[in-house]
Structure 1
C-alpha cells in the first residue's frame, strides 16, 4: 500500500485504544504501520520477506513498535486488534488462523470477491471459509480501496472488512469443516460415513452454518 490517506483510514477504522496490543501481519514498507503508531498501543508488526523487513527496520522508528521477521501466523502473543494488508493469496489462511485466536476485532484488506465468499448467504454457493467466518465473526464491508492505492496496482477490486469476534473454535474443527465441504455433493449420511460416523437424511445445503460447525465439532472429537 502506498496511499497514506487509505492507510490512515484503515488505521482509524481499527478503533485502537491506548493499552491495546495490535498485531499487524505483513509490514511491507510500513505505510499502514506508520499510521498504527502514535495511538498509545503496543504494535507487533511481522514481515516474512527479508528485504522488506530490512527496509522497514531502517525507516520505522516509533514508540511501542516491535518489528519482527517471520511468519505472522506463528505469533503466540495475545492481541486485541488484528490489522492486515496481506497478499490476497494469504487471505484464506489468515481467516482460518483468526477463527482460532481470541481477540476483539480485525480490520483486513481483501479482494472484493473473497469478501463476498465470506458473507455468502445462499447455502448452494457458500464455501467452507464462509461458514467458518460466519460462525466466528460479525462481519461488514467498511469501504473499498482504489487500485491506485497499491504499488503495483492489483488487477482486482479491494475492500476493507471488519471482523468482530463472536467465538473461537479449535483447529480440529476448522479441518473438519474443510473436510465436510470436500464431500458436499454427497448426502449427509454419505458425508458422515467418510468420517466413520452415522449421519441423518438431507444434504449439506439443508444445514445452517452453525449446524455445520456443530457437525464438524462432533467429527473432531
Structure 2
C-alpha cells in the first residue's frame, strides 16, 4: 500500500496565528492546552500503533495538531470537538495543510460525554477502532470510561492525560495510587504507561506534567454480575479506603454481616481493603451479593 502524503504540521507560530485568525484562545473551562510540537504528535501516533486499517476517534482536536499527524497514518479520523468555533474551523485547516487527506476527516461537533455510537459511525460508516487523544484534563477519566462503554468497537486507546491521572489509571492492586479509575479501566482492558510529555510542548503551558496511557481492550472478567453492579462494588470499596471491605461494603450489601457473607462467598478476606483487590475479585464480590430480603407480608 502506498504511503500516505505527509501533512504540514502545526508549530508554535502556526498555532498562535491560527488561533488569532479564528479569534479564539484556549480556555480553562474546556481544559484546552494545544500541542504545538510536531515531534510530540508524531510520537503519540507511533505510540498508538495506528495503521491504514484504523478508524481513529480523536476527542478535543482543538486546532488540529494531532489530527494532521493521525491522518498521515490512519484510514480516517473522526474528531469530536465541543468548541463550535474549533469544530467549524478544523476541516479548513486540514484542507489547507493536508489537501490530499481532507476527505479522510469527519468532524462531530459534540460533547464527548454525550456522544453516541451512531454519532461517530452514522449510516453504516465503519466504527472507530482506536481512540487517540489529548484529553481535556478536567474530564479525562469520565470521557475515557464513557467512550469505552459506548463504543465496543474501540480495540486500542492512547490518550494524553495529567501525569498523576496516568499513574492512577495504570496502577496495580496494592499500589498507593490504585483506586476507582484503575479498577474501572481494567474492566475494559490492560492499561500501561506509554511515556511522559513535557509541559513546553503546549500552549498555554500547563502547570502540571502530562503522561501517555495505553489501553489494549480485552473481554471483561467472567461474572454473572453486570458492569453496573461491579462498578457499584468498586465505588463502595474505595469510598473510605481505611475501612475493611466488611465495613466499606456494609451499605452496599445491607449490613456488615451480609457484606462479610458475600466476601467469603467470593473467596475474599473480609478484613482486606479495596486497594488489595483486582477487578476480577471485585466482580466475584458483586456476583455474590445477597438477594434483598422480601418485604414483610401484610396482615
TM-score by length of structure 1 reads: 0.86
Query: Which residue is 2:227 aligned to?
Result: 170
Asked if 1:109 is matched to 2:169, the reply is no
Kindly report the root-mean-square deviation, in angstroms, between the aligned alpha carbons of the 2 structures. Answer: 2.4
- Shifted more, 86-95 versus 22-31: the winner is 86-95
CA offset at residue 158 of structure 1? 1.0
Q: Is the 8 A contact 2:173 2:278 kept in 1?
A: no
| 1:11 equivalent among 37, 40, 45 | 45
CA offset at residue 5 of structure 1? 1.6
Query: Which residue is 2:170 aligned to?
Result: 119
CA offset at residue 122 of structure 1? 5.3
Q: Is the 8 A contact 1:118 1:133 kept in 2?
A: yes
SS in 2 for 1:199: helix
Q: Is the 8 A contact 2:55 2:74 kept in 1?
A: no
CA distance in 1, matches of 2:155, 2:59: 16
Query: Which residue is 2:198 aligned to?
Result: 146
Higher relative contact order (CA 8 A, sep 6+): 1
CA distance in 2, matches of 1:214, 1:58: 51
- Shifted more, 191-200 versus 31-40: the winner is 191-200
Higher Rg of the two aligned structures: 2
TM-score by length of structure 2 reads: 0.66
CA offset at residue 176 of structure 1? 4.0
* CA deviation string 1:116-150 (max 9, x = no partner): 11233353632111122234322222222121111
CA offset at residue 37 of structure 1? 0.8
Q: Is the 8 A contact 2:253 2:259 kept in 1?
A: no
Query: Which residue is 1:212 aligned to?
Result: 282
CA distance in 2, matches of 1:95, 1:173: 18
Describe the shift of the 1:135–1:3 C-alpha distance in structure 2 as closer, same or farther (beyond 3 A). Answer: same
Alignment of 1:1-221 (within 5 A): 1-61=35-95, 62-73=102-113, 74-76=115-117, 77=121, 78-100=127-149, 101-102=151-152, 103-121=154-172, 123=174, 125=176, 126-168=178-220, 170-197=227-254, 198-200=258-260, 201-205=270-274, 206-216=276-286
Query: Paired residues, what number?
Result: 220
